[in-house]
Structure 1
Amino acid sequence: MTNFHRATYWSSIIKSPKQDFLASIVVFLVALPLCMGIAIASGVPVAAGLITGIVGGLVVGWFAGAPLQVSGPAAGLTVIVYQVVNEHGLLALGAVVLIAGTLQLIAGALRLGRWFRAVSPAVIHGMLAGVGVLIVSSQFHVMLDDSPKQIGLANLASIPAAAYGALVERNAAAGIGVMAIACLMAWKTLAKGRFALVPAPLIAIVVAAVMAGTMGLPVARVQMPDSLSSAIHLPSLELLQSVPLNVLLQAGVLIAIVASAETLLCAAAVEKMKPEVKTDYDRELVAQGIGNIVCGALGALPMTGVIVRSSANVESGGQTRSSAILHGAWLLVFVVALGSMVRLIPTAGLAAILVYTGFKLINVQEIKRLKSYGWSEVGVYAATLCTIIATDLLTGVIVGIALSVAKLLIRFSHLNALIVHGEGDYCLLHLSGAATFLRLPVLASSLDRISPGEEVHVDFEQLDHIDHACMDLLMSFAQRHEQTGGTLIIDWGTLHAQVHGISESTKVDSESDKHLRRRIAA
């Protein structure tokens, strides 16, 4: 970093404009209930989620390559964390997150940030939808003050019976959950003017706490330790005696991959919202690695860049990284000074927020958008989604990536060559797909069916790719065809390519191609 950039960096921190201060308050109010809710969904104490939110602001905010992105515990990692904690205990979580952070730090140092974005959108959105279904199915039971099952399919299958039982028994927790969801859905419509800056999750939590307190409802409430330091669980070497190292490594790699992909996709979305604030993806990955190393050392939840808090930051007028840093400071102040207030919050209210968040992850509009690129994209999305629900997140992501690669290989091994004859000695060779050496026989067979002396127009408009082997075949055919009195005309403009060494007899003429198509159509 040059002296000029270093001075600019520190001046942006020190100035802390009014917009950043106000934005940090809004982000803090959005982050507070989400940090607690995600912790409950992950099967860990609420304090673990709050610690991650604090680290996301006070640590990651300083180093972030995406200045306006806000980091903290994310709903997309709840399934992985819940499985680790459920199978190996809370102490194992710190080691797994520490491994994930180290891998992210190394990946960022090796400048691999942009490569984490090279995952098919169908896989990413299928993963988010699968996580959304699992969150809804598990947190629905928590919203009823019930314990979720260990398997996603079992949670889904038991929802109707649980809902019927809550209705018959007039479950108080269910009433609080329904009220919280109603607040989430209605607040954006009802809130006007400055009230629109107040986040809906905060309103839902306040309503749930007031409702439970004033009516004296017998519902479960959030457990909060007297001191934040008592929630810190440092990893130890003794952990390796109870949990195999390969298990910890596998979970760490999975969290690193999912967290990095989600973070960098979020960073790209934030950059589109405010294009004048540029993103350094490698630096952002390093910052996330540092944050997760700290969270792992403290035994807290893993973190990612999160779109809900980041968009709230941008929409509230955040200008520099100060807003993200300050939101972490407000979280720390709240936990230290007002931590006892957390114990007034009913668990059902936080679970309701997660149920609502899970539904939003299952974005039906995304299916319509993927369909515009072909049914194969929808197939990859559906396969990823269903596999995650039926098995686990890692298997679902692997299946999605494998299908995406298979689709790409099939596409680049597929070539259609159609010959359409027009008036006189005119014909059109229409190529679509990918002309690679794998499909060289198909192209050669089509060229062999062209009669001597014809004026041949080659249409590249729907051709995705042509390699050197097929190009050589076309050039050789052009030379032979010229000797029979024929001509080969190629419209290179439709392929947006330049090929050197074309003989003079091989003409480049897009206007004649258009004229030929009109004649054939007639």
Structure 2
Amino acid sequence: MSVLRHLRRDLPASIVVFLVAIPLSLGIAAASGAPLLSGLIAAVVGGIVAGALSGAPLQVSGPAAGLTVIVAGTIAEFGLAGTAAVVAVAGLIQILLGVSRLGRAALALSPAVVHGMLAGIGLVIALSQVHVLLGGAPQSEAWHNLRDLPGQLAGPHSMSLLLGMIAITVLLVWPRYPKVAKVPAALVAVLAATLVAVVTDADVDRVGLPGAPLDELIRPAWPDAPLDQIALAVVTIALVASVESLLSAVAVDRMHDGPRARLNRELIAQGTGNTVSGLLGGLPITGVIVRSSANVAAGARTRASAILHGVWIAVFVLLCAGLLEAIPLSALAAVLVVVGLRLISLAQIRTYIRHRELPTYLVTAGGVVAVDLLTGVALGLAAAVLLMLSRLVRCEVRTARNADGEHEVTISGTLAFLCSGRVSRRLNALPPGERVTVELHLDYLDHGAFQVIEDWREAYTKAGGEVTVRETHDGWFSRATQGRLGAGKSLVRRLGSWTQWQDLDRQRRNAMEAGIREFERHVAPLVQPHLAGLARDGQRPEQLFITCADSRLVPNLITASGPGDLFCVRNVGNIVPPAGGPDSSVGAAVEFAVDVLAVRTITVCGHSGCGAVRALMSGGAVGDLGRWLSRSGVHFPDSADEQGCCTANVAQQLRNLMTYPAVRKAVEDGRLTLAGFYFDLASARMYEVDETAGVPRPVSADPADQVS
């Protein structure tokens, strides 16, 4: 029954992905200089083989625009049969990487380098395919395509340009109409251009497929070339395909609430798919974000959708190849021009500007366009390393005078000998004979920089001044003073209560003020950039977290989350009154979270030792507290202990949530998930609670059993 239930969603989703994959697979094959059948073979293998083995069930694999430039160069160097052999061996390399459990190692590559590489590839694709769009032929080098573009624009244009412009117009306009946007824009664009070409009997180049596809499969042959050149091509395809697939799998994980991707298994699946595709004469495959996002948006639930989309492509090619031969090549070129330009994401560029990683992105993209892919990636990695080194030796020095007339010098960041000259100048600029507090907020302190501060302190003190050195986080300076610089483990910043902050500084007026000052001095500089981004862009939390008002429960602490992650509602007993009751405050928060913030999860979290649950168990609560607790709707089993009553309360609140129409509709549409948890204060462990109020299940293994 569960298979049939999922098939109701997977079957229509597979048809949507099939319609997206057909024009993209043909266009990518054309841009690669390969037979169009090779692109369709890769799509079939990506769906059936990679889909069946995939570690990311909702990811859809097939020929990808990101490999177009590499494949075109490989075909030019080794021919079609040689390229097929290279693809097959590259798949074996991917399998080896997956078996070696190196799946996550590919994610160590800087995202700025990866996205810069894709942007460069997108520009190369657009520059080549715009010539096809204009009725000409693309050159082998991006620079040559750019050089010849003015002449191509100035020359006479055939019907190809009109058909391409029709396709581009549809691609840009179609998604703006939500009622019809479920039909893939690429499919509509190609159909529209094809219809015009058929009606006008346009004399343009069209798709060409063999009459008997199974008889025209390319048989791989080992290239007649030096081994080092073959090895370079194999490794390049294996690594780029692996990185693109794994990044796509991680991105797809963010689109749904199903099982998370198993990256090593996904790498094995991609390798198997590439080996099979190469043996059949197909293009290399990767996990493709365009098809995968369409799959998730169409409501797919299991890997059956990806597998079925491959089956539909195979059936269509074998039985309906004549329909594909009516498609003008300029329509496919138009699709690729738009796809290529969309690889240059303005949102990503803005992100890298905010994170000061734009140089890495631009250097990588420029290298891919100006030279080749490997050179561009190498230049991007070099730029990323240089940026990292510049940040590692960066520190900030601030001087100010407080209301008591005391000079405050705050040094934060990484303090190495390269920065010691600037620190020395700022310290020596302080007037002599004053009281000075040096506040160190350091990630690292080397001996040269320590000596600069220590020498200045001794000289300043001898001249009649008073110097106090204070540290937070790691005790670098104090360890250096004791001759133990670099020894010992880093000290994690401790979480202090107001009372502890008051004990640290008795001169503060009260504990709250001490905590605020501590935050503004040491924590605010770290979180301010993130908070500024949230203030500018608004909140987009993924989760509504409903929990008790108990002071011992700290939601962001127990979920390891930060600002902008949780939309919280706290009340006595983590109660959600049923919809339509006299108290609408919780209901208002629920509806705002679902309808406005579009949260994907609502969590109800109870805890051990809950006073509200104890009051419900005893039935002794009166007044406002009694009236509030009566809205919980919970009834405890006669034999339940306190923990059982706490979990029963959580389960009841999950049922109460389903009385809200907005919640019920979002759950039924698959846009929202409800979750229940129970936090044990004594052991600091979280347990999952289901709606039947059964035995709570630990979310993770016992820490004592985990291997670090």
Output the TM-score relative to the length of structure 2. 0.63
1:246-257 superposed matches below 5 A: 246-257=228-239
1:500-511 superposed matches below 5 A: none
One of 492, 498, 503 as aligned partner of 2:492: 498
Matched residue, 2:195? 210
CA distance in 1, matches of 2:521, 2:314: 72
CA distance in 2, matches of 1:174, 1:148: 15
Secondary structure of residue in 1 paired with 2:109: coil
2:353 corresponds to 1:371:
yes
Amino acid at match of 1:117: L
Matched residue, 1:282? 264
8 Å Cα contact 2:82/2:221 also seen in 1: no
Secondary structure of residue in 2 paired with 1:489: strand
One of 101, 118, 122 as aligned partner of 1:111: 101
8 Å Cα contact 1:84/1:251 also seen in 2: yes
Matched residue, 2:654? none
Distance 1:191 1:425, change over 3 A: closer
One of 198, 212, 228 as aligned partner of 1:227: 212
CA distance in 1, matches of 2:457, 2:151: 76
8 Å Cα contact 1:135/1:354 also seen in 2: yes
Distance 1:443 1:470, change over 3 A: farther
CA distance in 1, matches of 2:2, 2:520: 60
CA distance in 1, matches of 2:520, 2:106: 46
Distance 1:470 1:443, change over 3 A: farther
Matched residue, 1:304? 286
Identity %: 39
1:67-466 superposed matches below 5 A: 67-167=57-157, 171-190=158-177, 192=179, 195-237=180-222, 239=223, 242-374=224-356, 377-422=357-402, 426-436=406-416, 454=435, 456-460=437-441, 465-466=443-444
Output the TM-score relative to the length of structure 1. 0.85
8 Å Cα contact 1:491/1:510 also seen in 2: no
8 Å Cα contact 2:411/2:438 also seen in 1: no
2:10 corresponds to 1:32:
no
2:54 corresponds to 1:60:
no
CA distance in 2, matches of 1:445, 1:406: 26
Amino acid at match of 1:135: I
Deviation digits for residues 137-161 of structure 1 (CA, Å, limit 9, x no counterpart):
1111122332111110111222222
Following superposition, the deviation at residue 125 of structure 1 comes to 1.9
Unaligned ranges ≥5, structure 1 = 1-10, 501-506, 518-522
Following superposition, the deviation at residue 172 of structure 1 comes to 0.8
8 Å Cα contact 2:17/2:295 also seen in 1: yes
CA distance in 2, matches of 1:319, 1:196: 21
What is the RMSD computed on CA atoms of the aligned residues? 3.3
Following superposition, the deviation at residue 99 of structure 1 comes to 2.6
Secondary structure of residue in 1 paired with 2:414: strand
8 Å Cα contact 1:20/1:317 also seen in 2: yes
Following superposition, the deviation at residue 449 of structure 1 comes to 7.9
CA distance in 2, matches of 1:491, 1:510: 14
Following superposition, the deviation at residue 487 of structure 1 comes to 3.3
Amino acid at match of 2:101: R
Amino acid at match of 2:468: T
Following superposition, the deviation at residue 105 of structure 1 comes to 1.2
Following superposition, the deviation at residue 421 of structure 1 comes to 4.5
CA distance in 2, matches of 1:294, 1:103: 13
Secondary structure of residue in 2 paired with 1:318: coil
Segment of structure 1 superposing worse, 281-290 or 120-129: 120-129
Secondary structure of residue in 1 paired with 2:325: helix
Amino acid at match of 2:199: T
CA distance in 2, matches of 1:485, 1:113: 56
Following superposition, the deviation at residue 280 of structure 1 comes to 0.8
Matched residue, 1:487? 468
Secondary structure of residue in 2 paired with 1:273: coil
Secondary structure of residue in 2 paired with 1:428: strand
Bigger RCO (CA 8 Å, 6+ sep): 1
Structure with greater helix percent: 1
Amino acid at match of 1:378: L
Deviation digits for residues 344-369 of structure 1 (CA, Å, limit 9, x no counterpart):
11111111111111121122232222
8 Å Cα contact 1:27/1:309 also seen in 2: yes
Unaligned ranges ≥5, structure 2 = 477-489, 495-503, 506-513, 523-708
Following superposition, the deviation at residue 477 of structure 1 comes to 8.9
Amino acid at match of 2:270: Q
Secondary structure of residue in 2 paired with 1:458: strand
Aligned residues: 489
Please tell me whether Structure 1 or Structure 2 has the larger radius of gyration of its CA atoms.
2
8 Å Cα contact 1:97/1:301 also seen in 2: yes
